[in-house]
Structures are given as C-alpha cells and as structure tokens.
Chains A and B, each alone.
Chain A
C-alpha cells in the first residue's frame, strides 16, 4: 500500500464498513436487521440501471444509486478510488503482483462488450448485471466461499479441541463464543457454485498481474457505467497531459496515465498524481465538462452489437428443464418468476442471511438465465415461519420486505405426500413428524385416524396424514424434517398461483375425528 492519503483512509473505512455490514447480514437475536450489506447495492448505479431496464419500473430503494450517478457526473469516478471495497482489495493486494501488461483482448472496447450486453439482456427482462457487478462478485465470493471456509476451519479446530480436551474445552468457550457470535457464519453451509464464486473473485484479483486496476479499468461494468457519467464532470486535471520534463504521473497513476492525456472516464480520483507531484503542479479544477479524449460513446457497431448481443443472449438461454422447474422454489413473497428474474441482482445476500440456510444459488435448475438466483431447497433447510430476513436485505425488493403476518401467508409452493415413501402409507407405521412441525397454527398437515391392516396382517390404528392446500404456504419444514432417509415422504413443489393464504381468523374448524380435543 502506498502512503496514506484521504482517499486511502476513505477506502479503508468503507472496506471496514462493508465487512461489518457483511458480517451483520445475519440473524443477531432480533427480528430486524439494522444495517446490512444491501446498503452498498442500493447505491450501485449498475444495479439501478439494470433494474430500470429489466423491471421497467422505478423503486425508491434504489434512490441512493441515482444520487451516486449524479455525484459521479459532478465529481467523476470517485466511487472507484474512494469507496468500492473490491477496488480497495485490489489496491491492497495488487502490489504483490509483477505486472505483465494488459492482454490485447481487454483493451479498447472490451469494457463496452461487457456492459452493453448486460444492459441489453436487462432490456429483455433478464437482470444479469449482478453476475459481473463488482460488489456482487465480492459478496458472493465471501458469502459462498471464503466466509463458510473460515467458519468450517475455525469450527473444525474447535471440534478438534473437544476430541483432545473433552469438557475441559469449556474453559476456552467464552473466547470461542466471541468469535462464533461476531465473526463466523452460524451454520456450516456448503453452497453450490462456491468454487466458481471463489474463482471469479480470484480471477478479478489475478488481473492485477496484468496491470494495476486492470479489472476496474478494462472490464468492470459498474466502472464503465460510472465512467460514462464521469465524462460530464466539470473537474479537469491540470495539466491535462503528462509534463514533458517529468512524466512521473504515468508511474503513479493506477489507471489511465499510460497515455499522454488522463482519460476522464478511467480516472478514479485517487489523487496520487496530485499528492505526489514532485513540482506540486497538479490540480483538479472545475472547467468545461465533456473534455477528454475520444467520443462519449463507443462506435455504433459496438453499441448496437453489444445491446443486440444481450437481447439475443437473453433469448437463447431461456430453456428450462420442466422437471427441475417443478422444484424451483423462490423465497417468500416472490409471486412471479419473470418479475423476479428482472429484479433479482443475484448478489447472494438473501442466501447469506437465510436463518435456516434454506436458500441456495441456482446452478442450472432455473435455466442459465437463473444462474445464482436464490432457490429454496427444503431437504437442506426450510423457511422459518416468523423470519423475514431475506426480504429485509434484498437490495431491489425482488424479495419484498413484508411484515411478519403478511410473510407467513405468502406461498412458496405446496406440499405433496409421496405415498410410496411416506411411512403411514408405505409401511403402515405411524409417524406424523411433518404434522408436528407444520408451523401453521391451524395445521396445513393433518391426519385421519384409520384402521388398517399391516403387512403381517395385524390390525393397526394409523394416523394417515393429508395436506390442506388452502393452509399450506410451502415453507418446506415438513420435507426438511421427514425422517425417511434420502427422498422425503412429503415434498414441496412450485406452483404458478402464489396467491397468499387467507388471513387467519382464529382457529379454523378442524375435521372431527379421533382428535381428543376436537
């Protein structure tokens, strides 16, 4: 790291803030989360732009992003040099690389070939911006790979201590509790795409091996978008060019001073050139906007090619396997798949925060277009009845932030018994674990007392379960706790009609049967 400047201090503060918010994106003993890492996404103009194009609507949740875009148009790409936590990490680690120079593939219009197809796809209703958004890359890398890895390793050591010390380990428990409660993820969750998420993050960092801030300058779609806005900034560097007698700036500048003139859309306002100018000549002064080299927009063929490429891509990846589709269960409050794909940033926050680790990034079950979108896998976790955390942290409201009573009525899917597996049907054995766990006060799973004959010809009194569709919200706890090994005897399937359940009006009349209190 270079010497301390205000930009550096700001970078570190925002990185700390980002990490604190990331850690805080978890249940902490209260129903509401005070601050979550979604604050960063709400200020992310790329997220906002993709949302506007895809959902063709505006949401006040994204107002900070609009403000940041306006600020960028006034001040330039200061976000990248003062705030972006991924940029800070690149600056922190970049010094360790030997630079080889940018590959020709990444120079020129490459960044537009990244940004424009994303926006084109958004126009076609598929919000892929999050796939390459720097904040999302960082959050996913942390949430799916590094944070669980930290948790696994620490907990592994803690368990190892138990094997060695037994109950004596309790002496160290307060120290461990501190780490467990404030740093580690609560559960050991293994995520699909953990490797890919780590790989993408590592790839972005690895680009530092080409040149400093290679990602930010050559590929980052958020940076490119901010760069477009930055062109309007009235602040210009003086002198505009490298001074013939010095040229020190070209070595100091992390981004664009490898050419004669500072590229306004690439300058990240790190102020290195101003602070370290040997002759103290460099100033950033208000002047005429739109100064800088080259046209504002890339050539027409790039512009058209990029957008059309995005539109086509959005169409070409729409295939969905119906069998997998039947099990694509979306978080509570998501009622329409299309609207969800348009609004979801794929930032991974809902999966990070999910209390029961029920949400996982989709690999291919919702098609290529659904990559990284959250899917509930009941066999691994269920939607906790009183929990509304995923809606609270969703930056775009793709998962609506609902009050608890409303969320309880939102339909995720419907549970269906599989009579070939469910014990009372298949084995004539009493079970009802699903009924026991069903959180609906009036019970969406109930059972009839039935006299039956088992395989040995004995008379048995069986509690035979059934689902009351009007009460089932598809939370998945039944499938989660089903004691049948492997495939559960009850499963939740996606439904098109996700109209919320009726408001509970006291106890629903229960079918009179063998119920002792009926």
Chain B
C-alpha cells in the first residue's frame, strides 16, 4: 500500500470510528440508579447502593453539603420541596460513611424560617449529631469568576464551594419557564445577588453555574412530583406520587432520566440540552447505564 493511500484510509476510517473511539477513551458510560418504593428512606439507600454506596463519595473526615430544595413554604405533600425522609437518609448515610459534618442549607424563596420548618426538613434532622441545618448568611457569598457563556462571574455560597462533597438533592417538579426544575436548576439555591435576573438566559446561565459548582452526586427526589403550577404548586391535584429516587454522579444524566417521569424527552428541557452541550454530562439516555431496584 502506498503511504498516501494508507494515510487516507486511516484518516477516513477514523471519521467513522470516531464515535467508537470516543466511547472507548472518553469517560466511562454514566450510570443512573433508579430505586422505587414507598419507604423513602430505604428507597434512597437502595439508589445509593446501586451506585456503590455513600462510601464511594464520602471519605472519613469530609465536610458534606446536602443541598435540598426547600425554597418554599409548602408541606412535603405539596411536592415543592425535597422530601425530608430523603434528606435525612442521605445525612445518615454520609455520617455512616465517616463525614465529619453534614451541612444542609438553601437560599429560600419564601421566609427561610417557615421554609425550613414547613418542608419538614427541620424536624427530620432534629437532634442529629454532626448535622447542621443552617440559614444562609450573606457574608458567605463570594464572587466567583465563571467566564461562562453568559455569566462572567457570580456570587456563590462559600460553604457549598468549599465542601469536600457537594450532594445536590432536588425535587423533581414543573417550572413555568424551564419546564422542569431538577438538579441543574437546584444549584440556584447557592447563588447570591439578584439571581432572578438570570431568567432572561436561564439555560446558559445554569450551565455556567454548574460548570463551576460541580455536584459530586445528584439525588433526585421523585417520590412525588409536581406536574403543574410549579415551582411551588400548592394544589394536591398537581401532585403525582412516583415513589422514585434517582441518583447519579452525572447531573445531566440524572436530570435526563427524571424528565421521562413527566412524559417528556430530555431534549424538551433547554437547561438539560445547554448543560449537555457544555460537556457537563450525558443527556442521551441510550448512552446511559440505567440500573434499577
């Protein structure tokens, strides 16, 4: 074979093989764990177990941040906040894995005192040694350079950034603008400043934030989901019980899977698409290993 033909052949074949090569050399196929069951604490634990258990993420002495969605003055049954049992199970698992401290907080939309109480999370975590349910303190926001597609920089919460392990625990629910709010949108809870102003380019802005604040683990509470009038709902008619907890190290894949629970496709959610395009994770569920229990 002539040298030229050889080069052509190799060049062309690499074009075809590109996908295959990628799969071989790129990050291994992301896993999404899906657990179902009425006992939400146990369901959360089995989702974790499918991923290899909390010990895979939390090393002894770590400071762990759990970022549930508890932004609204709504009860657990109203599906606007992360279920308290899911949060508690994660806190217990983190402690069992040797975490030094587990911090739980959210920058709420309604009054933080009412949100923490009404969400049931305050009660659920009461008396747990090593677990702190904390109010946001403004002085802890720190301006972080992002150099993203739309956000050059933003004030982010120091305790979230400095945590050894950041566990993102959203509740799956409807949202008027982004259609759904899942893991990618849940990080808005550590944003300072006039965060409402990012709604004008929400998809790219959220991708920007998620590119600097990485969720080591995303656990989506879909024990019950809010199908309409999100993000705070209020009417039981909008709540659908799914008894599902989804966990993944790939936030985009977790969001993509959760989208299907609403009868939607991942590509229907612009935030998911934007994050995928930025290389923050896999949205094509065919390329995701889904394990169930």
Contact = CB atoms under 8 A, between A and B. Distances in A.
A484 to B, nearest CB: 8
A447 B176 CA distance: 9
Contact of A386 (B114, B175, B268): B114
B109 A431 contact: no
A443 B238 CA distance: 12
Contact of A483 (B177, B196, B230, B235): B196
Contacts of B137: 159, 162
A425 interface: no
Contact of B237 (A167, A437, A506): A506
B176 A356 contact: no
B23 interface: no
B132 to A, nearest CB: 8
B118 A506 contact: no
Given A431-B200, A517-B174, A441 B234 contact: yes
B176 A167 contact: no
Interface string B155-170: 0001100100000000
A24 to B, nearest CB: 14
A169 B194 CA distance: 27
Interface residues of A, number: 43
B113 A481 contact: no
B114 A384 contact: yes
Interface string B176-191: 1101000000000000
A163 B137 CA distance: 13
Nearest to A440: B234
A439 B113 contact: no
A167 B238 contact: no
A433 B188 CA distance: 13
A167 B113 contact: no
A63 to B, nearest CB: 32
Contact of A432 (B111, B199, B268): B199
Nearest to A180: B135
Interface in B58-88: 73
Contact of B110 (A29, A384, A423): A384
A154 B74 CA distance: 32
Nearest to A517: B228
Given A431-B199, A432-B177, A517-B227, A29 B233 contact: no
A504 B110 CA distance: 21
B200 A423 contact: yes
A442 B232 CA distance: 11
A27 interface: yes
A27 B114 contact: yes
A163 B139 CA distance: 8
Contact of A355 (B111, B227, B238): B111
B196 A507 contact: no
A176 to B, nearest CB: 10
A387 B177 CA distance: 27
A429 B200 contact: yes
Nearest to A447: B176
Given A432-B176, A447-B176, A506-B237, A483 B197 contact: yes
Contacts, number: 100
B229 A441 contact: yes
Scoring A423, A463, A515, A517 by chain B CB atoms within 10 A of each residue's CB, the highest score goes to: A517
Contact of A485 (B110, B194, B264): B194
A2 to B, nearest CB: 43
B140 interface: yes
Given A186-B113, A506-B237, A443 B229 contact: yes
A337 interface: no
B248 interface: no
B118 A463 contact: no
B117 interface: yes
A515 B228 contact: yes
Given A163-B139, A442-B235, A433 B196 contact: yes
B143 to A, nearest CB: 15
B199 A483 contact: yes
Contact of A430 (B114, B158, B199, B230): B199
Contacts of A507: 229, 235, 237-238
Interface in B123-165: 137-140, 158-159, 162
Interface in A440-455: 440-443, 447
B120 interface: no
B283 to A, nearest CB: 18
A510 B194 CA distance: 30
Contacts of B235: 441-442, 504, 506-507
Interface in A342-356: 355-356
B281 interface: no
A108 to B, nearest CB: 51
B139 A159 contact: yes
Interface string A285-301: 00000000000000000
B122 interface: yes
19 contacts: A29-B113, A162-B139, A163-B139, A186-B113, A384-B110, A384-B114, A423-B200, A430-B200, A433-B196, A439-B234, A440-B234, A441-B235, A447-B176, A463-B176, A507-B237, A510-B228, A516-B179, A516-B264, A517-B227
Interface of B: 73, 109-111, 113-114, 117-118, 122, 137-140, 158-159, 162, 174-177, 179, 194, 196-197, 199-200, 202, 227-235, 237-238, 262, 264, 268
Interface of A: 27, 29-30, 159, 162-163, 167, 186, 355-356, 384-387, 423, 427, 429-433, 435-437, 439-443, 447, 463, 481-483, 485, 504, 506-507, 510, 515-518
In the complex, the 9 A-B pairs of residues with the closest C-beta atoms, listed nearest first: A441-B234, A483-B196, A441-B235, A483-B197, A433-B196, A429-B200, A507-B237, A517-B228, A159-B139
